[in-house]
Amino acid sequence: MNLLCTLAKQFGPLMGRILLAVIFVLAGFNKITGFAGTAGYMASKGLPMADVLLVLTIIIELGGGLLIIVGWQARWAAAALFLFMIPVTLVFHNFWAVEAAQQTLERIMFMKNLAIMGGMLYIVAHGSGPYSMGKDKC
């Protein structure tokens, strides 16, 4: 059990950061490669200046995700992603306002985002841990 605890303390934060942030890196990259389609989807949700908002979204997702993975300014990146996810979750996964056929999927996506937001708050509170580029202290 001692070895397990040692390994978890040593490598857990790095693996946790990678697993938590890879969704943002992939999402940001996919938004670049499918820019027009994503901008159209955002506009269909009633968002103004979808192209501008999409560029900002890509910067937040790719930039924040990469910063968390490497552990540099991870607290700030996690805080930015946490705040970013509040309106994103409410606008794009509003399960209470969709057709019955879509409610289950949107509820799952809503809850997934809440779980990710919890992970972001954990990074804000505890920092990036070992094997990170920056030792961010609170």
CA separation for the pair 41, 25 (Å, rounded): 19
What's the confidence (pLDDT) of residue 136? 66
What's the confidence (pLDDT) of residue 1? 72
Token pair in block for residue 87: 């309106």
CB 120 within 8 A of CB 79: yes
pTM, two decimals, is 0.92
Q: Please report, rounded to a whole number, the percentage of residues in the chain having pLDDT higher than 70.
A: 97
Q: Output 137 or 28, whichever has higher pLDDT.
A: 28
What's the confidence (pLDDT) of residue 22? 98
CA separation for the pair 112, 87 (Å, rounded): 14
Q: How many CB atoms lie within 10 A of CB 62?
A: 18
CA separation for the pair 83, 61 (Å, rounded): 12
What's the confidence (pLDDT) of residue 21? 98
Token pair in block for residue 86: 């509040």
Mean pLDDT throughout 49-67?
98
Does the structure show a pLDDT above 80 at 105? yes
- Digit-coded pLDDT (tens) for 18-54: 999 999 999 999 999 999 999 999 999 999 999 999 9
Does the structure show a pLDDT above 90 at 135? no
CA separation for the pair 75, 25 (Å, rounded): 17
Q: Output 103 or 134, whichever has higher pLDDT.
A: 103
What's the confidence (pLDDT) of residue 137? 65
